[in-house]
Structure formats: C-alpha cells, structure tokens
Amino acid sequence: MHRTTIKVVEDALDANTTLAKANRSDFDRSGVTVVNLMSAPGAGKTTLLTKVLGDMKGVRVGVLEGDVQGSLDADRLAHLHLPVVQIQTDNGFGGECHLDANMVRSALPDLPLDDIDLLIIENVGNLVCPAEFKVGEDIRIMVSSVTEGEDKPAKYPLMFRACEMVIVNKIDLLPYLDYDLDKFNYYLDGVHPEVPRMFVSAKTGEGMEELRDYLVGLATRTAAPATT
C-alpha cells in the first residue's frame, strides 16, 4: 500500500456544465429562448410572471417552476393556461437550494418544447447557489426587491454579476423605506458596470409593459435566426 498523487485540474462543476450544454442544444433545436429567473425568496418572481405572462403578444411561453417543496407557485400560474412544470428539489439532503442542469434535464420530457417560443425557469429563491449552476439558459434575469435593502449587489456580487438584466421590484414601497436607489445603482455598477436594469412594481403595474416587451423581444430575437 502506497500513496500516489494524481493530477486532475478539472472544474468540479464540469459535469453540470456538460449537462447544461446538452439542455441548451435541446432548447436550440426547438427554437426556444430560455430565461433563468433568479432572486432571493419573496422578491416577487412569481407575481411578476402572473402580471406579464397573460398577454405575451403571440409569444408562446412555458414555465419551469423550481421550489424546495410543494406546487404553490405553479398553482398561482394555473389560470394563465400555460404549460407549467414544477420541479421539487427536496429529494436532496433537506432540499436543494437551487436548480441544476440535471434537475432541468429531468423535467424536459414534460415540457412541450416544440410548441413554445420562450421558457422561463423560475429558480429556487436564493442569492448564492443559483448563480453557480448554469442550466442551459440563454439569459439570466435577476429580481431584486427594494425591501431587501440597497446593499445586496455588494453582498452577493456573484449573483449580480452572473445576470444580463436586473429587475428592481416593489418600487411602490419606496416612500415607506429608507432604501437609497442611488446607492443601489452605485453598488450594482461596482459589481456589474452598466448592466441593464428596470424599476418596476408588480403591485401597481408600473414597468410591466416594459418588462413584457423585453421578454417578447428576447423570444423574437432567437426566433429570427431559426427561420432563416
């Protein structure tokens, strides 16, 4: 019995990256644009979806809901009559705090990929782990609500750097909070300079039209090359 040292030099997340690429090629083959929607718990991801997915101007949308337990979020979207698939992550050790490429892959047979243009993957509410695990998405959108405080980009830089769009939600509450919007922009520009951002309120409807147009634009952007 003796000891040997083996050189490995492999990213420990390579297995996830490989599966994410496999998901991505399945999405591409069906011409589906995929959004990974991430935020802390309670930032309003599902509420935003209920507000904008009702009329997507002809874009056919499917939703993949990730939660530790239950189907409350999927139930809230039921009235929209969209294909919604719920993934529960509680098979893991107490429930995984994020979706990974393998979980998304296991849900693909339940999704009518050929009949949708846009798939929104609503990740588990968490500002840490979802940023580490790609699932095969085209774009990552982060929702940050003003009740979380303006310092979150500085505290969770990886999450705010890993996204292509930041949606600041619940701005109707600004008059009641000490939240400093300029400071938020300052912190966000520090970790992700010039990342596009929208300031919205799912409650009052402010910014919902803009968000809908943005999502519709994402779906048509990818659809264009597929038709040529």
Q: What token pair was written down for 47?
A: 């509420």
Q: What token pair was written down for 97?
A: 């705090």
**Smallest distance from the beta carbon of 15 to other proteins, in angstroms?**
6
Q: Say if residue 98 is exposed, middle or buried (CB neighbours under 10 Å; 0-12, 13-18, 19+).
A: buried
What three-state secondary structure class fits 13? coil
Which CB sits closer to other proteins, 62 or 66?
66
Total interface residues for other proteins by CB under 8 A = 40
Among 2, 58, 79, 224, binds other proteins (CB under 8 A): 2
Among 14, 114, 178, 182, binds other proteins (CB under 8 A): 14
Among 22, 83, 157, 210, binds other proteins (CB under 8 A): 157
**Smallest distance from the beta carbon of 137 to other proteins, in angstroms?**
17
Using rule CB under 8 A, residue 163 touches other proteins: no
Using rule CB under 8 A, residue 121 touches other proteins: no
Using rule CB under 8 A, residue 193 touches other proteins: yes
Residue of 42, 56, 34 whose CA lies nearest to 143: 42
Evaluate whether 152 touches 127 at the Cβ level (below 8 Å).
Answer: yes
d(CA 15, CA 23): 13
Which CB sits closer to other proteins, 130 or 207?
130
d(CA 122, CA 38): 7
Contacting range for other proteins; rule: CB under 8 A; set: 56-64, 117-125, 157-165, 171-179: 157-165
Using rule CB under 8 A, residue 161 touches other proteins: yes
Using rule CB under 8 A, residue 16 touches other proteins: yes
The arrangement of strands across the sheet holding 118-122 comes to: 84-88, 61-67, 118-122, 33-39, 139-145, 165-169, 197-199
Using rule CB under 8 A, residue 132 touches other proteins: yes
**Smallest distance from the beta carbon of 222 to other proteins, in angstroms?**
25
Q: What is the DSSP string of 90-129?
A: TTSSS--SS--HHHHHHHGGGS-GGG-SEEEEEPPS-SSG
Decide the pairing of beta strands 84-88 and 197-199.
Answer: unpaired
Contacting range for other proteins; rule: CB under 8 A; set: 35-43, 65-73, 88-96, 217-225: 88-96
Using rule CB under 8 A, residue 179 touches other proteins: no
Using rule CB under 8 A, residue 15 touches other proteins: yes
| Interacting residues toward other proteins by CB under 8 A | 1-16, 92-93, 96-98, 100, 128-129, 131-133, 153-154, 156-159, 161, 189-194
